[in-house]
Chain A
Amino acid sequence: EDQVTQSPEALRLQEGESSSLNCSYTVSGLRGLFWYRQDPGKGPEFLFTLYSAGEEKEKERLKATLTKKESFLHITAPKPEDSATYLCAVQDTDSWGKLQFGAGTQVVVTP
């Protein structure tokens, strides 16, 4: 069965203090790995799709990377507006149409 595990569960950062979030997964075959940002009381907002090991995507202070067993979301010099829960989801080649989500990492950036 597909599994997606995110760590840490929560992360508290000072403004400007860079860090990384981890998403480890077990799937029979990876079709795609997705990162989302979710603010309290809102739906997830799409950030990145990664398809194959070695791929990297960047958006402002966020950079996502992918290996065969895990993905990292690097937050460089974060600002308070980067505070959110970051969700990782995988799409398996065998489970057509479904995304398997991790429980998320809650990030708080203080001034």
Chain B
Amino acid sequence: DGGITQSPKYLFRKEGQNVTLSCEQNLNHDAMYWYRQDPGQGLRLIYYSQIVNDFQKGDIAEGYSVSREKKESFPLTVTSAQKNPTAFYLCASSILLTKGNQPQHFGDGTRLSIL
């Protein structure tokens, strides 16, 4: 079955530590996205990528970094510079947007907490 796989499901970060969240898709989608979800707030865009080896900052990129070395993979690193990392992180993908108003499809998220 085609879909988006996020791992791990739960992750704990120690102070001063960088942690990496994995996102893999087998939908052959060109575009991939990372969102952060906090209680009572809408999803906020961290980074997005339209093509391999290229990505753009979203609305809340500070303290995060990404890479896009393969079409299927878009890992997110939460660095020690992100002072409030506790949240539910969602990865999404879509057909390249120049081809129309295509919906984004989501993985089942990673819940990150501070130890």
Please give the residue numbers on chain A whose beta carbons come within 8 Å of chain B beta carbons, in ascending order.
Answer: 4, 9, 31-32, 34, 36, 41-46, 49, 51, 87, 89, 91, 96-104
Contact = CB atoms under 8 A, between A and B. Distances in A.
Interface of B: 4, 6, 31, 35, 40-45, 48, 50, 56, 58-59, 90, 92, 97, 101, 103-109, 111
Contacts of A89: 42-43
Given A41-B109, A46-B103, A98-B59, 14 more contacts: A4-B42, A41-B108, A41-B111, A43-B92, A43-B106, A43-B107, A44-B43, A87-B42, A89-B42, A98-B45, A98-B48, A100-B42, A101-B42, A103-B40
A42 B109 contact: yes
Nearest to A42: B108
B101 to A, nearest CB: 4
Nearest to A91: B101
4 closest cross-chain pairs (CB), A and B: A43-B106, A32-B101, A101-B42, A101-B43
